[in-house]
Amino acid sequence: MNSSTKWSKIPALTGLLVAGLAAQPAFAQQEAMYSQYMFNTMAINPAYAGSRDVLSLTGLYRQSFSGIEGAPTTQTFTADMPIQRERVGVGLQAFNDKAGVMGSTGLYGSYAFRIKVSARGTLALGLMAGVTNFRADLLGVKIGSSDPAFNQNISKFLPNFGTGIYYSTDRFYFGLSVPQLVRGRINDYAANENERYARQERHFFGMAGIVLPLSSSLALKPSFLVKGVSGAPLAIDLNANLWIRKRIAFGVSYRMSNTEFDNKALSNRLGDAVVGLVELQLNDQFRFGYAYDHPLSDLRFSGHEFMLRYEFGFTKSRILTPRYF
Alpha-helical regions (H) of the chain: 3-7, 12-22, 259-262
Strand partners of residue 166: 124, 175
Helix (H, G, I), strand (E, B) or coil at 197: coil
Q: Which domains does the chain have, with CATH numbers?
A: 3-318 (2.40.160.40)
Q: Which residues of the chain fall short of a pLDDT of 50? A: 1-29, 194, 260-268, 316-317
Question: In a 3-state reduction of DSSP, which class is residue 243?
Answer: strand
Kindly give, in sequence order, each residue whose CB lies less than 8 Å from that of residue 78, ignoring residues fewer than 6 positions away. 40, 42, 43, 56, 57, 58, 91, 92, 93, 94
Give pLDDT tens digits for 199-219. 788 889 999 999 999 999 999
Give the 3-state secondary structure of residue 318. helix
Calpha distance 231→27 (Å, rounded): 8
Residues 6+ apart with CB under 8 A from 250: 241, 242, 244, 277, 278
pLDDT of amino acid 229: 86
Burial of 120: CB neighbours in 10 Å, binned 0-12, 13-18, 19+: exposed
CA distance 18 to 137: 10
Q: What's the confidence (pLDDT) of residue 295?
A: 85
Whether the Cβ atoms of residue 171 and residue 160 lie closer than 8 Å to each other:
no
CB 257 within 8 A of CB 228: no
> Residue 9: how many CA atoms within 13 Å on its side-chain side?
10
Gap between the Cα atoms of 211 and 213, Å rounded: 6
Which pLDDT tens digit goes with each residue over 99-158?
A: 888 889 999 999 999 999 998 899 999 999 999 999 888 776 666 556 666 667 788 899
- Residues 6 or more apart in contact with residue 269 via CB below 8 angstroms: 259, 260, 296, 297
Quick one: pLDDT at residue 238? 94
The pLDDT score that the predictor gives to residue 147 is: 60
pLDDT of residue 5: 36
